[in-house]
Structure 1
Amino acid sequence: MPTIVISSPEAAELFLKTHDLVFASRPPHEGSKHISSGQKNLSFSEYGVYWRDTRKMCTIELLSNHKINSFKSMRREEVSLCVESIRAASNNRSVAVDLSDKVSSLSVDMSCRMVLGKKYRDEEFDERGFKAVVREGIQLASAPNLGDYIPIIAPLDLQVFTKRMKSVNKAFDNLFEKIIEEHLQPNDGERTKDFVDVMVGFIGSEESEYRIERPHVKAIILVSVYTKS
């Protein structure tokens, strides 16, 4: 893999500022290829019109102060539920409370409600459970994969990463198909408009040189769940 080592402030300025656009794109990545619909997400898509438009949409519809504040009551509700769960568990002194797991679950639950519109029980998702599959996807995407460094051996799947990545992708694909279909139904007005509502509104539309379809929506939803978890 061609590699550049930045060893001085002057070189860092050239790399990060002067010639930033030259190095803006990510190289091909097996994890994103198999988990995120062929690098269609914000984290790994090539720099260009699609990446800029996706970044703008995520910034406005998911990360803006207005959007964050619109979910304030939901966050308070989930924190209250988490605190109550810890309080109930502490009453049983024979059972240890895993605070790391509690905080992780809280983050995932809030992310689901903000991005997907509601929390999903494990039995609605996959036999492994929603949080377990999210963790597995993160681990597979970040683990050193020989196929990324020696592309010619990628089809051999020597580390069995590709098989596991496809399994993670299938689990999320089934869930996201269900979620998209639910969001295509008329909103009764009782719930706050979530990120999937916005994304579904773009399906079939043409933005510059590309057309937004379901694989794009799924990839963007997936990275939104990962980054917030």
Structure 2
Amino acid sequence: MVHPLHALHELLLQARSPHAALGLVFVLLVCPLLVLLVVRRLATPSTAAVTTRAREELLSRLPSPSKRLPVIGHLHLVGSLPHISLRDLAAKHGRDGLMLLRLGAVPTLVVSSPSAAEAVLRTHDHVFASRPYSPVTEILFYGPSDVAFCPYGEHWRQVKKIATTHLLTNKKVRSYRHAREHEVGNHASISFSKIRDGASKCTTIDMSGLLNAFTNDIVCHAVSGKLFREQGHNKLFRELVEANSFLLGGFNLEDYFPMLVKLDIIKRIVCAKAQQVNKMWDNLLNNIINEHASKSAAEHNSEDNDFTDVLLSIQQEYKLTGDHIKAQLEIMFEAGTDTTFIVLEYAMVQLMQNPHLMKKLQAEVRSTIPKGKEMVTEDDLNSLAYLKAVIKETLRLHMPGPLLVPHLSMADCNIKGYMIPSGIRVIVNSWALARDPSSWEHADEFMPERFMECGSAAAMDYKGNDFLYLPFGTGRRICPGINFAIATIEIMLANLMYHFNWKLPMELMEGGIDMTEVFGMTVHRKEKLLLVPVVPHD
């Protein structure tokens, strides 16, 4: 006989999408809520109740869909690809780029226009700079005490300073160029040796797996040094990154029904998987930190120092605990691997679907870099304007995080004539901004030329200065790893175009590439990208 707690545990782990979770929500919440409503009816109004009524009055003035159900609110309106369904809902029910959704017990403001995004992320950035509480991020990221999920405050300011002045400066990113060039130019490179082997035999290769391994190896080198792969940890870290993505993405009951977390037995079941994953992270990160701490002074070279070396060297200055260091290392793995891999894969997909654009990019790379050169180096990249345009356009259509990490209002704030109370979760739909047909010509088409000189988007960059294009966010919470990610994407894509031609396997010739997406912490393709590399003979 299956123990009821085990069965409930499995149900909770499976309920990662709004529709899959609705039945479970009713079982767990409807009965307790009915009792709570009766108690509230009989209770004498308190100051807290008056405050709640005032808050609800403010929220009631915001545009919102009418199809709100008891307990679950608007959750049934959010589909399997929330960035698309939220765009469609905002077009129908939103006003001034704003729309309020009741997602379970959590009121959520959805931002879908450039002017509204600017009001939230620039004009009132100081008000919306915090993060909502999540028990999963609390467990996975030690508090959370990392730069991405940490609530706004003194500790966040400290870890942001560490990221921007010690770990991810332009100088530090450049110092890892040899690792990047090693992975694309060395004959011992696992990724490129497999591609060369496939080209020599005209066989199909799993590009998704190779690109994922490549980006993971680059991040591993930056975080822990050149011996990391030799120790065999890189594969395990790749698996842990995937586990994090699953736990952080999709629909988490505990995020939208906070009362679940107050029930200890439910909290233990919901968070059990996160605790298992955190324990594995903890063991591996402790080993890395201990190995680095045991280095002799002669082994330390500021030019070769990896992220772990840097964090240990500033530990006393910033009063960092061991958990603080582990949180920073873990988020570097998570953000650095997933984002870079997704952009590289989608760039290859779009170029395969637009062969004339691939030929244009190959012509630029091969005419700029002398024939017979071992590889495209980072010194060559500044001359490759079309390569940079291809990457920008890939990020426009396929930004890894189409919904920016949720923000949290820390005070009442007037946004476009609406008073937004404190404590409101805010989701910026950056995917909708980048595909707005009123702002982008042929918004759904892959057109890198728009980012070339004299193109309509020539002046746009990754820095969050234009609210039509926010692939890495903007303001206080902008991703600090932009330069690291772009450097990795550019060097790999340039060498893939320089060394090889590409074709689809025979079985995909007729149907083409499956573009089905899966939503989680990031959005990625459901199916592996299978391609046949060909050595050019011209």
TM-score with structure 2 setting the length:
0.38
Q: Which residue of 1 aligns with 2:166?
A: 61
Deviations 1:58-115 (A, max 9, x none): 122222221111111111111231212221244455x631111101110000101111
Secondary structure (helix, strand or coil) at the match of 2:109 reads: coil
Checking the alignment, whether the CA contact within 8 Å between 2:167 and 2:310 is kept in structure 1 is no
Partner of residue 181 from structure 1, selected from 290, 307, 314: 290
Q: Which residue of 2 aligns with 1:16?
A: 121
Q: Which residue of 1 aligns with 2:145?
A: 40
Q: Which residue of 2 aligns with 1:202?
A: 314
Alignment pair present for 1:216 and 2:324: yes
Q: Which residue of 2 aligns with 1:145?
A: 252
Q: In structure 2, what is the Cα distance between the partners aligned to 1:18 and 1:107? A: 35
Q: How far off is 1:36 after superposition?
A: 0.7
Q: How far off is 1:133 after superposition?
A: 1.7
Q: In structure 2, what is the Cα distance between the partners aligned to 1:166 and 1:12? A: 35
Partner of residue 305 from structure 2, selected from 193, 207, 210: 193
Checking the alignment, whether the CA contact within 8 Å between 2:254 and 2:270 is kept in structure 1 is no
Q: In structure 2, what is the Cα distance between the partners aligned to 1:163 and 1:178? A: 23
Alignment pair present for 1:83 and 2:192: yes
Question: Which letter maps to 1:133?
Answer: L
Q: In structure 2, what is the Cα distance between the partners aligned to 1:76 and 1:161? A: 43
Q: In structure 2, what is the Cα distance between the partners aligned to 1:7 and 1:85? A: 43
Residues 119 and 102 from structure 1, CA distance in 2 versus in 1: closer, same or farther, beyond 3 angstroms?
farther
Q: In structure 1, what is the Cα distance between the partners aligned to 2:142 and 2:123? A: 32
Checking the alignment, whether the CA contact within 8 Å between 1:35 and 1:169 is kept in structure 2 is yes
Count of residues paired in the alignment: 223
Alignment pair present for 1:113 and 2:113: no
Residues 7 and 102 from structure 1, CA distance in 2 versus in 1: closer, same or farther, beyond 3 angstroms?
closer
Q: How far off is 1:136 after superposition?
A: 1.2
Q: Which residue of 2 aligns with 1:52?
A: 157
Q: How far off is 1:189 after superposition?
A: 4.3
Q: How far off is 1:11 after superposition?
A: 4.3
Q: In structure 2, what is the Cα distance between the partners aligned to 1:198 and 1:213? A: 14
Q: Which residue of 2 aligns with 1:72?
A: 177
What pairs with 1:118-137 in structure 2 (closer than 5 Å)? 118=226, 120=228, 125=233, 129-137=236-244
Q: Which residue of 1 aligns with 2:280?
A: 171
Q: How far off is 1:161 after superposition?
A: 5.0
Checking the alignment, whether the CA contact within 8 Å between 2:292 and 2:309 is kept in structure 1 is yes
Mind listing any 5+ residue stretches in structure 2 that lack a counterpart?
A: 1-105, 338-538
Q: In structure 2, what is the Cα distance between the partners aligned to 1:25 and 1:115? A: 26
Checking the alignment, whether the CA contact within 8 Å between 1:36 and 1:222 is kept in structure 2 is yes
Question: Which letter maps to 1:219?
Answer: A
Checking the alignment, whether the CA contact within 8 Å between 1:34 and 1:165 is kept in structure 2 is yes
Q: In structure 2, what is the Cα distance between the partners aligned to 1:73 and 1:92? A: 29
Deviations 1:117-157 (A, max 9, x none): 2354598559x833122111112112211011111213455
Secondary structure (helix, strand or coil) at the match of 1:4 reads: strand
Please identify which structure carries the higher strand content: 2
Q: In structure 2, what is the Cα distance between the partners aligned to 1:171 and 1:195? A: 20
Q: In structure 2, what is the Cα distance between the partners aligned to 1:164 and 1:72? A: 37
Q: In structure 2, what is the Cα distance between the partners aligned to 1:219 and 1:147? A: 21
RMSD (Å) for aligned C-alpha atoms: 2.7
Q: How far off is 1:5 after superposition?
A: 3.7
Residues 7 and 192 from structure 1, CA distance in 2 versus in 1: closer, same or farther, beyond 3 angstroms?
closer
Greater C-alpha Rg? 2
Seq. identity, %: 31
Q: In structure 1, what is the Cα distance between the partners aligned to 2:246 and 2:111? A: 27
Identify the range of structure 1 (39-48 vs 195-204) with the bigger mean alpha-carbon deviation.
195-204
TM-score with structure 1 setting the length:
0.85
Secondary structure (helix, strand or coil) at the match of 1:2 reads: strand
Q: In structure 1, what is the Cα distance between the partners aligned to 2:149 and 2:183? A: 31
Residues 2 and 179 from structure 1, CA distance in 2 versus in 1: closer, same or farther, beyond 3 angstroms?
same
Question: Which letter maps to 1:142?
Answer: G
Question: Which letter maps to 2:158?
Answer: D
Residues 133 and 108 from structure 1, CA distance in 2 versus in 1: closer, same or farther, beyond 3 angstroms?
same
Q: In structure 2, what is the Cα distance between the partners aligned to 1:31 and 1:118? A: 31
Question: Which letter maps to 1:18?
Answer: T
Deviations 1:20-75 (A, max 9, x none): 21111001012211111121111111112221221121122222221111111111
